[in-house]
Amino acid sequence: MDPSRAPFRRKIQRPSTLWPHPCLWRFPAPRPQPIRPLNGGTCPADFTHYRLADGTDAEILTWPDDHSRYALSVTAHNRVTGPIVRDTFRHAVAAHGVPASTLTDNGMVFTTRLSGGRGGRNAFEHELRRLHVTQKNSTPNHPTTCGKVERFQQTMKKWLRAQPDQPTTIGDLQTLIDRFADAYNHHRPHRSLPHRATPAAVYNTRPKAQPAGSRDGDTHTRVHRPQPRLPAPKQETPEPVGSRVSDVLRHHTGRGDRI
């Protein structure tokens, strides 16, 4: 090898001279999650499955508060149905007041808006309309919209599995759930709350949101209109190393041949 070319070869073969350091790469910023400042502003709901000690499948319906993470209602059932969703919501309203809105997925126990227009509103939808509560539903195939309630369910099921005596009946499961809800609301510090406060401390010290107004003019066709997606930015293809080597050598040595 020509000694005059060696310094240039070592220089151009250093990664930092061809591409920026990985710490300088620019990635799209994560979309911030909307903050709902008032307790009772939004009441999400969902149900999850849990197996009893004998292998029987049970379902747990949860109603946490979106802002404070306070567990308003957590109940165990053999199977969650539309009337059960309505009745548990009524009990939560009687104990904690009417929320301004609810947030659920598109399960048939919560909404019939994607059922092709058959059957009209279900029992839960009629109850929300009667109380003038705004009903919000997540976009299909976007589970992160209901991420808070699903994170709550994950914490609950992890605690239930860690108990030495696993429940054998729905009543035993409800007893464990009541113990968990008391510890979660009043004794367990929550990392997402200011000063790692408990959900009960935040829920009982902040004002409660109320329904905005009448829903008499609301229709059942709550069709989601997805926002148009912006085209992805074009990424520049890095220049091949071989051409960069030739350019540098051509400039310093006056020779245009490639190595």
Higher pLDDT, 152 or 24: 152
Model confidence band, residue 35 (pLDDT cutoffs 50, 70, 90): very low
Q: For residue 251, what pLDDT is reported?
A: 54
What whole-number distance in Å separates Cα of residue 176 and Cα of residue 173?
5
Mean pLDDT of the chain: 77
Alpha-carbon dihedral sign for residues 235, 236, 242, 244:
negative
Give the residue-averaged pLDDT of 171-188.
Answer: 92
12 vs 167, residue with greater confidence = 167
Is there a contact between 106 and 48 (Cβ–Cβ < 8 Å)? no
Domains of the chain (ranges, CATH numbers): 43-205 (3.30.420.10)
Amino acid at residue number 36: R
For residues 91 and 234, which has the higher predicted lDDT (pLDDT)?
91
Query: Bridge partners of 73?
Result: 63
Look at residue 168 in the predicted model and tell me its pLDDT.
Answer: 95
The pLDDT of residue 61 is 96
Q: At what angle do helices 147-161 and 170-186 cross, to 10 degrees?
A: 110
CB atoms closer than 10 angstroms to residue 104: 22
When pLDDT is averaged across residues 44-68 and rounded to a whole number, the result is 92
The two tokens of residue 141 are 């195939």
Residue scoring higher pLDDT (198 or 49):
49
Q: What's the one-letter identity of residue 193?
A: L
One-character DSSP codes across 106-150: S-TTT--TTTTS-S---HHHHHHHHTTPEEEEPPTT-GGGGHHHH
Question: Beta strands of 28-77 (E only): which ranges?
Answer: 43-44, 46-51, 57-64, 71-77
pLDDT score recorded for residue 34: 47
Q: What is the pLDDT of residue 78?
A: 95
Secondary structure letter of residue 205 according to DSSP: H
